[in-house]
Structure formats: structure tokens, C-alpha cells
């Protein structure tokens, strides 16, 4: 556990260019870490740990093969409560960074969603129409919201990595 | 409760007077007062203007270290939640007949009927200070302040019940980038007959994942106590708001049509009025229903299957027994509806065109007319 945390913090110093050059990640970060050859583990971990980037609006984006998958963080889904409806954009819709692209309705409120990047929507998670609770049950995996192109990769630099996001959440409680 | 107009507030605020430049917008004036709690009351009874003002305040006023209460009421209107289906929630026919507009708000929740006997309260805060329980406590304390023996209680669903049975208030909320608002209704002296008539949906056979309202028996506060009118209640809530949060704000009147003080508000109101928002934002749904067609000599059952996305008919299949109406006619009608809005006006125009093409045959014409009328009625 401690080793994983150490790797994640180290990656804060790694250039995002590393992500662009690496081959697309197919399986979850944690599994690959354990399976990787110890000699290669540092670079593998760095590629995977920087894969999840966070906004201060509690959305995350995972970059795989030039496509960003977007969802909301565990912190966000806990604050939201049970999601009863996901209002998502259309495929093909162009989004600017920070532009409102939809809303999640829970018993608490309608919470707006803000695009972490500039790009075009390539896919929306149609499962959520039938099972909006997936956002609560599996916010990082099957509860993803949209996939989009990344028109301006430099925008990723401005987003928080795992470590920074954890610190950010802690600061909100103060 | 001291009432001031926005221009009075401006004139009395020294800082504002000094900087009486072209840009004394509401947010600038608010910042210059330095107050951390403000109470605004709308002079408008237009649902779209008032909803636009909510959006404007949410987007333009710095709510990080400030809270606001907004008091408003509207001429008759039906207001649905952000992700609701109006065809599933209300009687659009009756609304059209009586000139009652449909509005879709940006917060979640269910469908409500507004009229001048209903008070709306919007509590604006930062996301951190978002607390619906506390806001509703302001309301129940205000009511108990007027009538100490009144049994009014907030429920887990954030409704307020009178005597543990009748709903007098419903709640909805929106969480934005850094700010939030919680608004609720309060039934003082609403037209309950009209309320029941418009909140009874007429379109059958809808299959949808839109958020659905939870119907509840309602009552007016005026029924409980004839001296409780809207103005008395609004004053009491404003006073209690100051007490609860330690503010000392007078009630300031605001005109939501004032583009100079509220730049961009007219565009916001237009967006809320547009069909693309009120009807077009309805989540994808389908209608699958059977209905009767009658004329002097016969009756038959017809079926209608439609898929609607963004309020547009994507697929349509109207089946009428061929011995009642030639298949080509009902098929022609179905085809012409595809790609159009689920709208009685548009559909009537299409129907009129089709009726003109029918060869001189009174009986056929009448049957076709019946079919068209029945389909239009569903919309």
C-alpha cells in the first residue's frame, strides 16, 4: 500500500508526455502494478498512476489511446447521494474545458457536470439510463459518464493527480 | 419589514453613488454593500423572468461568503423538474386552454403548480453552506412564530407537512460550480381545483426513465387560518431568515426584466421559454397506447407506438384496422409525423394537409379527422 502511494507521489514530477507515448492501458492500474516486472514497475506505475487526473469540481479523466473517459470521484458520489438520473450530452457534442455538459440528479439536488477538457463527445454510458446507481457503486469503473477526444492535451497538465486531489479534498474539510 | 427598491439601495449605498458609472449591476451593488446576508423580492410574476433571476444570481453573485434569500410568486404556471417528462406529469391540453405556461427549472425534483397564492423561497449559499434542513427550519419557525400552535414539520424528503398529513411545501435544489440554491414552494392560498386539474396527466402509455413526481395531498395555509396571506408569510420568513443567520437585511425589491442591472438576464429568460428547453429537454421516451375510434356506425381500436427523443418524433407507427380506414392513410399520417415535434400545433397542420388530399368521401374524411384529432389530443 505504502509503495503504491510512494509511486503515485513520484509521478507528480513526471511529464505528461510520458502518457502520450505509452501504449493504451487496458486493465486497471492496481492489477497491472502487481503483475509488472519489478525492474519495469517504476515506469509502468508512472504511466498508470498519472492516468487518472482530477478537476477541482471532482470529475476525473482517464486517458487511453487519445480518448478521455470522464466520471466523478468517490468524494463526489458520496456527497451527491443516490443518483436517480444522469443527464448526459449527445455524441458529437463539442465541449470547452469547464463547460457544463450535463447534470446528475440525486435526492440531494441536480448537480451540474463540468467538462475537464476541450474535446468532442465520442461515447456516452448508456447503461446509466437504466441503472443510474452505477455512478455510486462504481464511480471509477463501470459508472463512467462520457468519453471524449482530447483536443488540447496541455489541459491535462492543469489537472490534479491522485496525490494532489487527496490533498485537495482534505483541505475542503478545513 | 422595511422594503426598499433596488434603486433606493443604490442611492443609499454611498460607495455605489460615488461609482455611479454605467456598470452598477446588481452583483456590483451587492458587493459594495459589504453585507453577508441579503433578502430580495421580485416585482415580477412571470415564471420565466423569475427563474432567469435565480440563474443570474447563481452565476453572477459572489456567494462564497454571502447568503441570499429570494422571495417570489408567479401568475399560474406549471413547473417541472430538470429531468422530467411534461407529457407524463401534467395536463397539457387544459394548460393550453387556460393559457397556463409550462416551465422547466434547472433544479431537480418534481412537478408543481404555481399561482399568486403560492410563495416561492430560494436560499442561495456557497456549496459548503448548503443546508436544506436549516432553510426549512427558517420556514417552519416563521410559521410557528405567526401561529404557535400550528403543526408544521419538515420531512426526510424535505417536504413540509401540515398536521402531519397535508403537503404545503416541496423542495428542489441545484448544485453548481461553487454555489448552490435550494428553493421551495409554500401553499398559502393557491387555486386547488386548478392545481388538481393541471397536475393530472392525460397522455397514456408512456415508458420513460425520466424522474417522476411523488403525488401528495395538499392544503393551503389559508384553509388552516384565514388570516395567513402570502404577504404576511413572506414578511415572517424574511424576518426569521435574519434571525436564524444573524443578518439584518431589509427586503429589497428587484425587477428581473431590468437588463441594465442584470446584464444577460433577458437572454436567460428566452432560453427558459424556448420549446427546445421546456419540451426538447425531455429524456428519451416512448408512447405505446391503444385508443378507441368511433363514428356513427362503428367503433374500433387503434394503436399508436412512438419513440421521442429531444421532443422530436423519431419513429411512429399508427395502426388502424383496415376495414375502418385504408392502411395507406394511417401509414401516410405516421410517416409525416416522423421528424416533427411532439406538438399539437405542428401535428394539426400536418393533419389538415393530409385531410385535403382525401378524395371526396365524407365518411372517410370524418374517420380520418377523428384519428388525427385523437392523436393531437395526446400531445
Rounded to whole angstroms, the Cα distance separating B335 from B356 reads 17
Query: Looking at the complex, does the CB of residue B173 fall below 8 Å from at least one CB of chain A?
Result: yes
d(CA B228, CA B139): 14
ipTM of the complex: 0.83
Average pLDDT of B262-286?
96
| Element spanning A102, H or E | strand A100-106
Q: What is the pLDDT of residues A97-117, one digit of tens each?
A: 999 999 999 987 999 999 999
pLDDT digits (tens, 9 = 90+) for B180-209: 999 999 999 999 999 999 999 988 999 999
Q: Convert the pLDDT of each residue in A129-146 to its tens digit.
A: 999 999 999 999 999 999
Mind listing the pLDDT tens digit for each residue in B314-354? Answer: 999 999 999 999 999 999 999 999 999 999 999 999 999 99
- Tell me the three state secondary structure of residue A96: coil
Q: What is the CA radius of gyration of chain A?
A: 16
Q: What is the mean pLDDT of chain B?
A: 91
**B174 to A110: CB separation less than 8 angstroms, yes or no:** yes
Query: Does residue B179 sit at the A interface (CB-CB below 8 Å)?
Result: no
pLDDT-derived band at A174 (thresholds 50, 70, 90) equals: low
Is residue A36 pLDDT above 70, yes or no? no
Model confidence band, residue B36 (pLDDT cutoffs 50, 70, 90)? confident
Asked if the C-beta of B214 comes within 8 angstroms of chain A's C-beta atoms, the answer is no
pTM reported for the whole predicted model = 0.84
Alpha helices in chain B, H assignment, sequence order: 6-12, 14-18, 26-33, 47-60, 86-89, 92-98, 132-146, 192-198, 221-224, 230-245, 265-273, 275-278, 327-337, 344-357, 362-378
Task: State percent of chain A over pLDDT 70.
Answer: 70
Instruction: Answer whether B174 sits within 8 Å of A106, measured CB to CB.
Output: no
pLDDT surpassing 60 at residue A37: no
Neighboring chain B residues of A110 at a CB cutoff of 8 Å: 81-83, 106-109, 172-175
pLDDT tier for residue A12 given thresholds of 50, 70 and 90 = very low
Q: Which of B82, B128, B283 lies nearest to residue A110, judging by beta carbons?
A: B82
pLDDT of residue B6: 59
Q: Which of B176, B207, B213 to mutate to test the interface with A (most CBs of A within 10 A)?
A: B176
Grid cell 393559457 in the structure block, residue: B99
Q: CA-to-CA distance for B266 and B154, rounded, in angstroms?
A: 35
Whole-angstrom distance, CA of residue B343 vs CA of residue B348 = 9
Identify the helix (H) or strand (E) that includes residue A72: strand A67-72
Confidence at residue A108, expressed as pLDDT on a 0 to 100 scale: 72
State whether B81 and A57 contact (CB < 8 Å). no
Distance CA B170, CA B181 (A): 14
Distance (Å, rounded) from C-alpha B30 to C-alpha B24? 10
Compute CA distances B161 → B71, B140, B304, whole Å. 20, 10, 41
Q: How confident is the model at residue B4 (pLDDT cuts 50, 70, 90)?
A: low
Collapsing DSSP states into helix, strand and coil, what is residue A88? coil
Residue A76 pLDDT: 93
Q: Which residues of B touch A172 (CB under 8 A)?
A: 128
CB-based contact A111 B174, cutoff 8 Å: yes
Say if strands B67-72 and B37-42 run parallel, antiparallel, or are unpaired.
parallel
B125 and chain A: CB distance < 8 Å anywhere? no
Residue B363's pLDDT is what? 87
Could you read off the pLDDT of B123-153 as tens digits, one per residue?
999 998 999 999 999 999 999 999 999 999 9
Q: Which chain B residues are closer than 8 Å to A78 by Cβ?
A: none
- What pLDDT, on the 0 to 100 scale, is given for residue A5? 41
Higher-scoring residue by pLDDT: B238, A39: B238
Residue contacts between A and B (CB atoms, under 8 Å):
55
Interval A50-83: pLDDT, tens? 479 999 999 999 999 899 999 999 999 998 899 9
Bridge-based pairing state of the strands B251-254 and B37-42: parallel
Higher pLDDT, A6 or B60: B60
Here the cell at position A41 is: 514497475
Which pLDDT value is given to residue B3? 55
Q: pLDDT tens across B224-260, in order?
A: 999 999 999 999 999 999 999 999 999 999 999 999 9
- Placement of cell 368511433 in the chain: B294
Set of chain A residues whose Cβ sits within 8 Å of the Cβ of B128: 172
The whole-number pLDDT of residue B271 equals 97
Strand A146-149: give its sheet, edge to edge. Answer: A52-54, A59-64, A67-72, A146-149, A119-124, A94-95
Cα distances (angstroms) measured from residue B132 to each of A59, A103, B175: 24, 20, 12
Nearest CA in chain A to B177: A57
Q: What is the pLDDT of residue A85?
A: 96
Q: What percent of chain B has pLDDT over 70?
A: 94
Residues ≥6 apart with Cβ < 8 Å to A168: A54, A56, A160
Phi, psi of B300 (to 5 degrees): -145, 165
> DSSP characters for B117-183?
TEEEEEEEEESTT--HHHHHHHHHHHHHHH-TT--EEE-TTS-EEETTTEEEE-EEEEE-SSEEEEE
Q: How confident is the model at residue A3 (pLDDT cuts 50, 70, 90)?
A: very low
Amino acid at each position: 500500500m505504502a509503495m503504491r502511494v510512494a509511486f503515485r507521489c513520484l509521478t507528480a514530477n513526471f511529464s505528461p508526455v510520458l502518457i502520450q507515448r505509452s501504449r493504451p492501458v487496458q486493465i486497471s492500474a492496481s492489477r497491472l502494478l502487481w503483475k509488472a516486472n519489478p525492474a519495469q514497475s517504476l515506469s509502468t506505475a508512472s504511466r498508470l498512476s498519472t492516468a487518472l487526473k482530477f478537476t477541482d469540481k471532482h470529475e476525473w479523466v482517464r486517458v487511453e489511446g487519445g480518448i478521455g473517459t470522464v466520471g466523478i470521484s468517490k468524494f463526489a458520489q458520496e456527497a451527491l447521494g443516490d443518483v436517480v438520473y444522469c443527464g448526459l450530452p449527445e455524441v458529437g457534442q463539442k465541449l470547452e474545458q469547464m463547460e457544463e455538459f450535463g447534470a446528475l440528479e440525486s435526492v440531494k439536488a441536480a448537480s451540474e457536470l463540468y467538462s475537464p477538457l476541450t474535446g468532442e463527445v465520442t461515447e456516452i454510458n448508456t447503461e446509466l439510463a437504466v441503472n443510474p446507481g452505477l455512478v455510486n457503486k462504481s464511480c471509477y469503473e463501470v459508472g463512467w459518464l462520457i468519453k471524449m477526444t482530447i483536443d488540447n492535451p496541455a489541459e491535462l497538465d492543469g489537472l490534479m493527480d491522485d496525490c494532489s486531489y487527496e490533498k485537495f479534498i482534505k483541505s475542503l474539510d478545513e | 419589514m422595511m422594503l426598499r427598491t433596488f434603486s433606493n439601495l443604490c442611492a443609499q449605498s454611498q460607495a455605489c453613488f460615488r461609482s455611479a458609472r454605467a456598470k452598477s449591476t446588481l452583483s456590483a451593488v451587492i458587493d459594495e454593500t459589504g453585507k453577508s446576508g441579503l433578502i430580495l423580492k421580485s416585482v415580477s410574476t412571470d415564471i420565466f423572468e423569475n427563474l432567469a433571476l435565480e440563474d443570474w444570481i447563481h452565476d453572477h453573485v459572489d456567494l462564497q461568503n454571502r447568503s441570499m434569500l429570494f422571495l417570489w410568486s408567479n401568475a399560474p404556471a406549471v413547473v417541472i423538474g430538470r429531468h422530467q417528462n411534461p407529457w407524463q406529469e401534467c395536463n397539457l391540453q387544459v394548460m393550453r386552454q387556460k393559457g397556463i405556461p409550462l416551465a422547466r427549472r434547472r433544479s431537480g425534483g418534481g412537478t408543481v403548480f404555481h399561482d399568486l397564492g403560492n410563495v416561492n423561497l430560494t436560499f442561495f449559499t456557497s456549496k459548503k453552506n448548503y443546508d436544506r434542513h436549516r432553510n426549512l427550519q427558517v420556514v417552519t419557525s416563521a410559521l410557528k412564530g405567526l401561529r404557535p400552535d400550528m403543526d408544521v414539520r419538515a420531512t426526510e424528503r424535505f417536504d413540509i407537512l401540515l398536521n402531519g398529513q397535508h403537503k404545503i411545501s416541496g423542495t428542489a435544489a441545484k448544485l453548481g460550480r461553487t454555489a448552490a440554491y435550494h428553493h421551495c414552494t409554500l401553499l398559502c392560498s393557491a387555486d386547488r381545483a386548478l392545481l388538481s386539474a393541471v397536475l393530472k396527466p392525460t397522455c397514456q402509455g408512456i415508458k420513460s426513465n425520466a424522474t417522476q413526481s411523488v403525488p401528495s395531498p395538499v392544503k393551503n395555509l389559508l384553509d388552516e387560518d384565514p388570516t395567513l396571506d402570502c404577504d404576511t408569510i413572506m414578511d415572517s420568513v424574511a424576518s426569521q431568515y435574519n434571525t436564524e443567520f444573524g443578518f439584518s437585511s431589509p427586503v429589497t425589491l428587484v425587477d428581473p426584466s431590468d437588463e441594465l442591472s442584470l446584464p444577460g438576464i433577458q437572454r436567460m429568460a428566452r432560453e427558459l421559454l424556448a420549446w427546445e428547453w421546456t419540451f426538447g429537454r425531455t429524456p428519451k421516451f416512448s408512447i405505446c397506447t391503444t385508443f378507441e375510434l368511433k363514428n356513427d356506425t362503428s367503433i374500433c381500436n387503434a394503436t399508436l407506438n412512438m419513440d421521442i427523443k429531444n421532443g422530436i418524433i423519431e419513429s411512429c407507427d399508427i395502426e388502424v384496422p383496415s376495414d375502418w380506414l385504408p392502411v395507406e392513410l394511417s401509414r401516410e399520417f405516421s410517416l409525416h409525423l416522423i421528424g416533427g415535434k411532439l406538438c399539437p400545433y405542428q401535428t394539426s397542420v400536418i393533419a389538415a394537409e393530409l385531410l385535403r388530399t382525401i378524395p371526396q368521401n365524407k365518411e372517410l374524411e370524418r374517420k380520418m379527422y377523428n384519428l388525427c384529432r385523437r392523436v393531437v389530443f395526446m400531445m
